């Protein structure tokens, strides 16, 4: 049965990568793969000898000796656990996406756009790269990618040009998220798991992460897609800009409330999605108030809600990229099935046994995170290693898992969202961006090893 589950996962993964060739939306194989994997676990529960406890990050003792009812009960608990963890990410994502859409409803990004005066592609690349690097460390790489891609869509009309910028935003956002405890879900896991502290995480990783972003961006800036200007592609029709006095207010309020989320988490110790829902509620309240003030008899033909005025919240929710959310759900829950059977744990453990050099193991885990979600791989590493707080190994794992996912577009949350927002092909990304991400990953890894040696001395 384990072989069957692996085959289903591989076939589902191939269907996702061949989305454009098969002309089937990627969410379909993701959802089917998830459901079939868990159904196979339910049917073959008595035959499995291993079970991974995600809460304790270790394999359960004597799972094979449990009776049928006990195993089913454990499977249901595990399924609920993974559903809860996945829901935390999805609701966080939905909240961030809705806030971004509300800002866009008031044309708030036109305010941000007005600060970007250059039409030079190379300069624009560096601006977006550094914005992604900094924003991802503050508001996490996923939300930073959503915000910057939305701004990018307002500046560059031509998709063939825009997807190149999107690819570099993914690399920069993942690099920026690696050195912050709230920048990426894997660093957050290590931070909450008391494996790294904020000060040492920044000390060890800020330079490697910066190099991981700067080197690929520098190389990309020398290539043909980033030569010349955007004059023929930039929006110049002033009639298409609908900026109002509320545009800058909603921009700063929306981004400010997103920035409030980590502060809320620090104060309350509640999961980030709770703070995001609070932020969403505040932004929605102001959006409704401003919408009421902006109401005019000339626009009665538009959508009107029960309270008799235009509802920016309803409009924004209707624009949410739900296929991407469902795809994300399917992928995470399918990987959770492999994790629950202990497959990922044994894979990581076998690497550790076969290759005694921990640096090589961690780098392979980073490369593996591009293929398989980095969350379960980091969870497996928490069970593999027993090193103490702020051991350099944990910081290397944070860097490797956070930046390694950039090598494939489905290897990180930022990549998955960009894939949905810009309809980027898996193979286009693999052909044009993967090699740049790999170079950045290797350069950053070497820089970490050097810094580790200097700090150790």
For the stretch 184-213, pLDDT in tens is 878 877 877 678 888 888 999 999 999 999
Q: How many CB atoms lie within 10 A of CB 244?
A: 14
The first and second tokens of residue 312, run together, are 């920016």
| pLDDT at position 236 | 42
Residue-wise pLDDT for 270-279, tens only, equals 888 899 899 9
What lies within 8 Å, CB to CB, of 255 at 6+ separation is 103, 139, 147
Q: What are the backbone dihedrals phi and psi of residue 58, each rounded to the nearest 5 degrees, phi first?
A: -155, 165
Render pLDDT for 77-98 as a digit per residue (tens, 0 to 9). 989 988 988 888 788 878 888 8
β-pairing, 52-53 vs 58-59, is antiparallel
Q: Quick one: average pLDDT of 136-141?
A: 81
User: Across all residues in the chain, what is the average pLDDT?
Assistant: 82
- pLDDT band, very low/low/confident/very high, at 283 (cuts 50, 70, 90): very high
Q: Which of 29-43, 103-117, 125-139, 218-232 has the lowest mean pLDDT?
A: 103-117
> CA-CA distance, 320 to 302, in Å (whole number)?
19
Reply yes or no on whether the pLDDT at 239 is more than 70. no
| Within a domain: 279 | yes
Residue 2 has pLDDT above 80, yes or no: yes
Number of other residues whose CB lies within 10 A of the CB of residue 439: 15
> Among the listed ranges 49-58, 96-105, 322-331, which one has the minimum average pLDDT value?
49-58
Q: Is residue 251 part of a domain?
A: yes
∠ CA 194-200-204 to the nearest 5 degrees? 120
**What whole-number distance in Å separates Cα of residue 448 and Cα of residue 278?**
38
The residue length of the chain stands at 457
Report yes or no: 226 and 199 within 8 Å, Cβ to Cβ.
Answer: no
Question: What is the rounded average pLDDT of the residues 230-258?
Answer: 68
Q: Is the dihedral of CA 153, 95, 271, 422 positive or negative?
A: negative
Answer yes or no: is 414 within a domain: no
Determine which helix (DSSP H) or strand (DSSP E) holds 52, and give its type and residue range: strand 52-53
Q: What is residue 223's DSSP assignment?
A: S
Q: Give the separation between CA 24 and CA 428, rounded to whole angstroms.
A: 17
Q: Which two tokens stand for residue 402?
A: 């956070």
Alpha-carbon distance of 81 to 205, in angstroms, equals: 31
Is there a domain that residue 134 lies in? yes
Q: What is the DSSP string of 232-301?
A: TTB---GGG----TTHHHHHHHHHHHHHHHHHHHHHH---HHHHHHHHHHHHHHHHHHHHHHT--GGGTT
Residue 274: CB partners within 8 Å, gap ≥ 6?
264, 265, 268
Beta bridge partners of 382: none
- pLDDT for residue 423 is more than 80: yes
Region 140-169: what's the mean pLDDT? 86
Task: Judge residue 314's burial from the number of C-beta atoms within 10 Å of its C-beta, 0-12 exposed, 13-18 middle, 19 or more buried.
Answer: exposed
| Residue 110 and residue 247 in contact, taking contact as beta carbons nearer than 8 Å | yes
277's tokens: 């829902």
Name, in order, each residue with C-beta under 8 angstroms of 86's C-beta and a sequence gap of 6 or more.
Answer: 329, 332, 333, 336
Phi/psi for 371 (5° steps) reads -95, -45
Question: 83 near 34, Cβ under 8 Å?
Answer: no
Q: What is the pLDDT of residues 290-323, one digit of tens each?
A: 887 654 433 444 444 444 445 788 888 887 878 8
Asked if residue 314 belongs to a domain, the reply is yes
Q: Which residue has the higher pLDDT, 123 or 239?
A: 123
Question: Is residue 152 domain-resident?
Answer: yes
Q: Say how many domains are in the chain.
A: 1
What share of the chain in percent tops pLDDT 90? Answer: 25
Does the residue 272 lie in any domain?
A: yes
The CA distance from 14 to 168, in Å, is 24
Range of the domain at 255: 88-177+237-321
d(C-alpha 124, C-alpha 57), whole Å: 43
């Amino acid at each position: 049965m384990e072989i069957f589950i692996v085959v289903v996962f591989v076939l589902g993964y191939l269907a996702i990568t061949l989305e454009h060739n098969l002309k089937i939306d990627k969410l379909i194989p993701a959802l089917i793969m998830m459901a079939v994997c868990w159904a196979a676990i339910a049917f073959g529960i008595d035959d499995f000898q291993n079970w991974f406890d995600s809460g304790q990050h270790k394999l359960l003792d004597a799972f094979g000796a449990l009776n049928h009812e006990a195993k089913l009960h454990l499977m249901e608990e595990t399924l609920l656990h993974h559903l809860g963890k996945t829901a935390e990410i999805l609701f966080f994502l939905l909240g961030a996406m809705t806030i971004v859409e509300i800002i866009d409803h008031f044309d708030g990004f036109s305010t941000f756009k007005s600060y970007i005066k250059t039409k030079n592609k190379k300069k624009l690349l560096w601006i977006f790269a550094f914005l992604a690097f900094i924003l991802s460390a503050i508001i996490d790489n996923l939300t930073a990618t959503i915000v910057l891609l939305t701004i990018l869509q307002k500046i560059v009309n031509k998709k063939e040009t825009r997807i190149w910028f999107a690819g570099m935003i993914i690399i920069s956002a993942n690099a920026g998220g690696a050195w912050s405890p709230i920048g990426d879900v894997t660093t957050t896991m290590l931070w909450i798991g008391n494996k790294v502290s904020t000060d040492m995480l920044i000390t060890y990783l800020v330079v490697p992460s910066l190099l991981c972003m700067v080197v690929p961006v520098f190389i990309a800036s020398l290539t043909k897609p980033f030569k010349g200007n955007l004059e023929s592609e930039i929006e110049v029709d002033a009639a298409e800009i609908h900026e109002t006095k509320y545009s800058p207010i909603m921009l700063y309020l929306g981004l400010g409330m997103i920035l409030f989320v980590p502060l809320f988490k620090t104060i309350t110790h509640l999961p980030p999605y709770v703070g995001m829902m609070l932020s969403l509620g505040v932004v929605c309240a102001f959006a409704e108030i401003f919408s009421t003030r902006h109401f005019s008899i000339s626009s009665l033909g538009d959508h009107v809600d029960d309270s008799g005025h235009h509802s920016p919240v309803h409009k924004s929710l209707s624009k949410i990229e739900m296929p991407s959310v469902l795809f994300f759900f399917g992928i995470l829950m399918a990987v959770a099935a492999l994790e629950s059977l202990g497959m990922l744990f044994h894979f990581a453990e076998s690497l550790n046994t076969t290759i005694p050099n921990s640096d090589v193991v961690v780098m392979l885990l980073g490369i593996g995170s591009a293929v398989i979600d980095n969350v379960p791989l980091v969870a497996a590493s928490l069970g593999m290693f027993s090193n103490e707080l702020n051991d350099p190994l944990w910081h290397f794992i944070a860097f490797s898992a956070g930046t390694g996912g950039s090598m494939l577009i489905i290897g990180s949350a930022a990549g998955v969202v960009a894939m949905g927002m810009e309809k980027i092909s898996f193979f286009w990304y693999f052909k044009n961006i993967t090699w740049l991400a790999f170079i950045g990953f290797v350069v950053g890894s070497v820089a970490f090893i050097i810094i580790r040696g200097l700090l150790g001395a």
